[in-house]
Amino acid sequence: MEIVKTKVAIIGSGPAGLLLGQLLYKAGIDHVIVEQRSADYVSSRIRAGILEQVSVDLLTEAGVDENLKAHGLPHSGIEILTQGQKHRLDLAALTGGKQVTVYGQTEVTKDLMHAREQAGLSSYYEAHNVQIDDFYTQPKVTFQYQNQPYQIECDFIAGCDGFHGVCRASVPEDKIKTFEKVYPFGWLGVLADVPPVADELIYVQSERGFALCSMRSETRSRYYLQVPLTDHVDNWSDEQFWDELKNRLDPESREKLITGPSIEKSIAPLRSFVTEPMRFGKLFLAGDAAHIVPPTGAKGLNLAASDIAYLSSALIQYYLDGSEQGINEYSEKCLQRVWKAERFSWWMTHLLHRFETESEFDHKIKQAELSYILGSLAGQTTLAENYVGLPYEIKHLSEFQQAS
Ligand code: RFL
Ligand code: PHB
């Protein structure tokens, strides 16, 4: 058996695990990443597209913002289409100048993997049968790598292994509580090399269900349709997808929509899910391993980033001056922000989707709520300040260094 000793073992090489690795590397903290999939698989997954300003700032601090600054598209507004009318929310004007950046999660992942490779840091891709043990005493991670058994002995384990990972599943049942809501529909997503229908994202509430017009660049579009949970991607030809999208759009957008062959098509179920607490002895959960939001508020990747901001800061504090304060506060601080993002994502999902079970009364109330939000400065501000991302404070590496 190969024995590896390190300070932090990171399980999962999604954006959460990679970003934590990069921030620990910057602080000179020894760590490894263990990932069950191949590097190619990880770097080609198509997922999120919107970064809050605080996430952009964190990627800048991690030193992986070169491509982001060159190719990310800053957006200062979004459109909401309801009852055939588009309404623009001027995010920047409503939030004192804040905006979001359109930059694919795929690109974030590639940038972080590239930085990791350049720095020559240890990653075990295609690790099989990953298991974590003794995280209340002396943490261990075991797995098979290139047909060899490995054991990592470490101070801490960072469970960044997503919703289906092994870390949350390893916590004793009496130490963990989960909260869940599953929605009766999914999002059918299509990626296509066609120019976006508009300069800004359009969130569409229609009698036929929700739709979203998003993008990855000026030449690559990402569109979504609300579909029943029972639907299957094979039921949707490209032509059927474009026809249904057109049916949910306003006449002007329908006219402007440029269609083309899909380069990716998939259905994602929608779920709200929170784990409490997010720390178990020397095991920390971060990102989708700890919580899931429906994608309507564009919060999943951004929450993963804010968890990592808190976790990296806590670990840096521990290794620089021996203080356990950040470690002890990790779960509570994360959960405060997580629940607010859960609430916002749930609310946006309710407001904009068609629920089969909703009565005519429920439907009318929802229309009235949307009409109120869009017609009121207070309503618009509430939506905008949640969408651009709620602020949070952490101590940065440079501040620790100045203090010591
Ligand atoms: P990930 O990305 O799932 O990465 C977890 C990694 O752990 C690995 N793993 C294991 N490794 C070792 N051993 C095991 N036993 C393991 N089990 C799993 C996995 O292979 C994987 O590599 O979690 P992470 O890092 O927490 O990142 C979270 C984000 O990926 C997620 O929240 C977002 O994609 C959500 N999301 C969005 N978030 C936003 O902020 N803005 C958006 O616009 C947005 N749009 C979306 C989204 C998610 C979507 N889908 C597909 C659910 C749109 C969609 C359609
Ligand atoms: C995306 O571009 O994939 C995207 C954008 C906004 C969302 C969800 C997904 O709310």
User: Model confidence over 13-37: pLDDT tens digits?
Assistant: 999 999 999 999 999 999 999 999 9
The catalytically annotated residue of 299, 333, 353, 366 is 299
Question: What is the pTM for the complete model shown?
Answer: 0.96
CA 77/CA 3 separation, integer angstroms: 52
Residues sharing a CB contact under 8 Å with residue 205, sequence separation 6 or more, in sequence order: 80, 81, 82, 351, 352, 353, 370
- Using alpha carbons, select from 51, 55, 56, 53 the residue that is nearest to residue 66: 56
For 235-302, the DSSP string reads G--HHHHHHHHHHHS-HHHHHH-----EEEEEEEEEEEEEEE-SEETTEEE-GGGTEE--GGGS-HHH
- Using alpha carbons, select from 145, 116, 135 the residue that is nearest to residue 13: 116
The catalytically annotated residue of 25, 183, 203, 318 is 203
Other CB atoms within a 10 A radius of the CB of residue 149 amount to 12
348 in contact with ligand 1, CB cutoff 6 A: no
89 in contact with ligand 2, CB cutoff 6 A: no
% of the chain residues with pLDDT over 90: 95
The catalytically annotated residue of 139, 196, 294, 295 is 295
Mean per-residue pLDDT, 83-87: 96
Q: What is the pLDDT of residue 398?
A: 78
Mean per-residue pLDDT, 308-320: 97
For ligand 2, the distance from its centroid to the CA atom of residue 324, given in whole angstroms, is: 37
List C-alpha distances in Å: 120 to 8, 30, 207.
Answer: 17, 12, 53
CATH topology of domain 2-74+103-180+272-358: FAD/NAD(P)-binding domain (3.50.50)
For ligand 1, the distance from its centroid to the CA atom of residue 119, given in whole angstroms, is: 24
For ligand 2, the distance from its centroid to the CA atom of residue 297, given in whole angstroms, is: 8
The β-bridge relationship of strands 156-159 and 283-285 is parallel
**Can 319 be counted among the known catalytic residues?**
no
Q: What is the pLDDT of residue 1?
A: 93
**Can 184 be counted among the known catalytic residues?**
no
52 in contact with ligand 1, CB cutoff 6 A: no
Between vectors from CA 314 to CA 9 and to CA 277, what angle results, nearest 5°? 80
The two tokens of residue 37 are 């999939």
CA 271/CA 308 separation, integer angstroms: 22
The catalytically annotated residue of 15, 25, 75, 223 is 75
Residue located nearest, by CA, to atom 4 of ligand 2: 49
Which residues share a beta bridge with 8?
Answer: 31, 156
**Can 392 be counted among the known catalytic residues?**
no
Mean per-residue pLDDT, 116-134: 97
Q: Is residue 141 within 8 Å of residue 132, measured between CB atoms? A: yes
CA 103/CA 52 separation, integer angstroms: 10
Residue located nearest, by CA, to atom 6 of ligand 2: 298
User: What's the pLDDT band for 165 if we cut at 50, 70, 90?
Assistant: very high
Q: Which of 143, 161, 303, 386 to mutate to test the pocket of ligand 1 (most atoms within 8 A of CB)?
A: 161
User: What's the pLDDT band for 46 if we cut at 50, 70, 90?
Assistant: confident
Where are the chain's structural domains?
Answer: 2-74+103-180+272-358
Q: What is the pLDDT of residue 404?
A: 66
User: What's the pLDDT band for 45 if we cut at 50, 70, 90?
Assistant: confident
For ligand 1, the distance from its centroid to the CA atom of residue 11, given in whole angstroms, is: 13
